[in-house]
Amino acid sequence: MKGDIGVIGLAVMGQNLILNMNDHGFTVVAHNRTTSKVDEFLAGPAKDTNIIGAYSLEELVEKLEKPRKVMLMVRAGSVVDAFIDQLAPLLDEGDIIIDGGNTNYPDTNRRVASLKEKGIHFIGTGVSGGEEGARFGPSIMPGGSPQAWPAVKPIFQAISAKTDAGEPCCDWVGNDGAGHFVKMVHNGIEYGDMQLITEAYQFMKDGLGLSHEEMQQTFSDWNKTELNSYLIEITADILGYKDEDGSPLVEKILDTAGQKGTGKWTGINALDLGIPLTLISESVFARCLSALKEQRVAAEAQFGKAIEKVSGDKQEWLDALRQALLASKIISYAQGFMLMREASDENGWELNYGNVALMWRGGCIIRSAFLGNIRDAYDANPELAFLGSDPYFKGILDNCLAAWRKVAAKSLEAGIPMPCTTSALTFLDGYTTARLPANLLQAQRDYFGAHTYERVDRPRGEFFHTNWTGTGGDTASTTYDV
Ligand code: 6PG
């Protein structure tokens, strides 16, 4: 019997995806560069299953049904290229290579194009949900060669997470690197959600002086509101977790955050496309700032910094904090979807935003009830430019605004760093201001560099230069925007 799909890479994600595929009745051929891992897998987790081992790429290819589907679950970057180079000569036209790693989407664009010349289809897919997701139902975001989708669809949709209504959290995202792009934005949003939660935690702990039991309870309570999500749920668990000596383990963890790059790529992409993705970018910088541990320790001593206690009714503050978190989260997703729209237009991907929200509804790290509402918003209006304008989300923003301002102002007064919560509010203030001070900025640019400006009393597209000092010339520099 031949295999339905081959998987290369037997680290935890690869193994768990294979076991998941096997559970759903697919025959999987498993390969790993260090072949002893194949034996260990077959004798261990894959014992008494239909999983077949392959000790070389030739054997893997030989054991697969046509069109062959080979999924790489290896480290993103040069390792993927190396496997593609070895695999391609062994494959036939119409066969499919799938990359399930956290690849930067321009690499996927390149691979789709170069394999197309050889008649081989390539899919770059986001897979989210960590070890457990891979084993029991991840969110899967495939994009690449559309011809490959019908062959892969039954496998991916079977193994993916399902919404409460039974819909698979997996659908075709779009051409080229669209799947990896959407996974990248997912991860950026993941960074933002996590940072917002940590800001609320610091406000509770250092501002309000809450105990870990109280904080655990608060996050559990929040999980029963619109904030219901995997990340809020695990935060409650983490805050309740005790180390061997009975004290909260979280306080023994060094406060320097790591990162593998997907949040950074999201920020870089936003800068490239000119989208004000402030919240996710702040969350990346917050991780960078956290990494400067020694400098921060020295600076705290030098500046005599101390966070002021926040006085007043704790329950009232906690409710305000919940509203600030919820409203900020809306801004983060609104910005993320703005970025996706711009990238979709730029690359001709025709992303379906309702479908993206559906794919994130279950299985992935940012899964939440909230994504169901986002899906409804884009299904109702696929052209929605700003998520906050959807009636449901606008209602929340309106209701939360006063509490959000109160928390943001208090954080600044008390010295509690809340870059994402405050910048989200600043973004909304900017976005809802018809006239910003950029007129002055344009005047400055024209003053020192003859960069020209447009006028409110003349049609757009007419450019003017003023000789501001009387000593400058009348010659304007060329007008172009990047
Ligand atoms: C997922 C996650 C995952 C990511 C980790 C680590 O969707 O399952 O996004 O893909 O690799 O969250 O990311 P950082 O190391 O950058 O925090």
CB-CB contact of 344 with 353 (8 Å): no
Decide: 4 in ligand 1 pocket, CB within 6 A: no
CB-CB contact of 228 with 370 (8 Å): yes
- Tell which one of 12, 190, 193 to mutate to probe ligand 1, the residue whose CB is within 8 A of the most ligand atoms: 190
* Tokens encoding 41: 């897998």
**Ligand 1 center–CA 381 separation, angstroms:** 30
DSSP states of 198-224 as a string? HHHHHIIIIIS---HHHHHHHHHHHTT
Q: Under 8 Å CB-to-CB from 249, ≥6 apart: which residues?
A: 238, 241, 242, 243
**Is 260 within any annotated ligand binding site?**
yes
Decide: 139 in ligand 1 pocket, CB within 6 A: no
CB-CB contact of 361 with 371 (8 Å): yes
* Tokens encoding 375: 């899906």
pLDDT at residue 94 in the model: 98
Decide: 355 in ligand 1 pocket, CB within 6 A: no
**Ligand 1 center–CA 261 separation, angstroms:** 9
**Ligand 1 center–CA 359 separation, angstroms:** 16
183 is catalytic: yes
pLDDT at residue 476 in the model: 81
This prediction has a pTM of 0.96
Distance, in Å, from the CA atom of 107 to the CA atom of 124, rounded to the nearest integer, reads: 9
Neighbour tally for 41: CB within 10 Å? 21
- The greatest distance separating any two alpha carbons of the chain, rounded to the nearest whole angstrom, comes to 87
CA distances from 7 to 15, 21, 63, 69, 366 (A): 9, 10, 12, 9, 26
**Is 12 within any annotated ligand binding site?**
yes
Nearest-atom number in ligand 1 for the CA of 260 is: 16
DSSP states of 392-458 as a string? HHHHHHHHHHHHHHHHHHHHHHHT---HHHHHHHHHHHHHT-SS-THHHHHHHHHHHH---B--TTS
Decide: 259 in ligand 1 pocket, CB within 6 A: yes
Asked if the 5-172 domain carries CATH number 3.40.50.720, the reply is yes
Distance, in Å, from the CA atom of 257 to the CA atom of 274, rounded to the nearest integer, reads: 27
pLDDT at residue 473 in the model: 78
From first to last of its 482 residues, what are the pLDDT tens digits of the chain?
899 999 999 999 999 999 999 999 999 999 999 999 999 999 999 999 999 999 999 999 999 999 999 999 999 999 999 999 999 999 999 999 999 999 999 999 999 999 999 999 999 999 999 999 999 999 999 999 999 999 999 999 999 999 999 999 999 999 999 999 999 999 999 999 999 999 999 999 999 999 999 999 999 999 999 999 999 999 999 999 999 999 999 999 999 999 999 999 999 999 999 999 999 999 999 999 999 999 999 999 999 999 999 999 999 999 999 999 999 999 999 999 999 999 999 999 999 999 999 999 999 999 999 999 999 999 999 999 999 999 999 999 999 999 999 999 999 999 999 999 999 999 999 999 999 999 999 999 999 999 999 999 999 999 999 999 998 778 887 767 77
Per-domain residue ranges of the chain? 5-172, 183-432, 436-481
Decide: 192 in ligand 1 pocket, CB within 6 A: no
CB-CB contact of 310 with 317 (8 Å): yes
Q: Under 8 Å CB-to-CB from 159, ≥6 apart: which residues?
A: 17, 20, 21, 23, 24, 137, 138, 140
Decide: 252 in ligand 1 pocket, CB within 6 A: no
Decide: 234 in ligand 1 pocket, CB within 6 A: no
Neighbour tally for 86: CB within 10 Å? 13
**Ligand 1 center–CA 58 separation, angstroms:** 32
Nearest-atom number in ligand 1 for the CA of 102 is: 10
Sign for the pseudo-dihedral over CA of 147, 148, 154, 156: negative
167 is catalytic: no
**Ligand 1 center–CA 74 separation, angstroms:** 15
The fold of the 436-481 domain, in CATH, is: 1.20.5
The fold of the 183-432 domain, in CATH, is: N-(1-d-carboxylethyl)-l-norvaline Dehydrogenase; domain 2 (1.10.1040)
Neighbour tally for 461: CB within 10 Å? 7
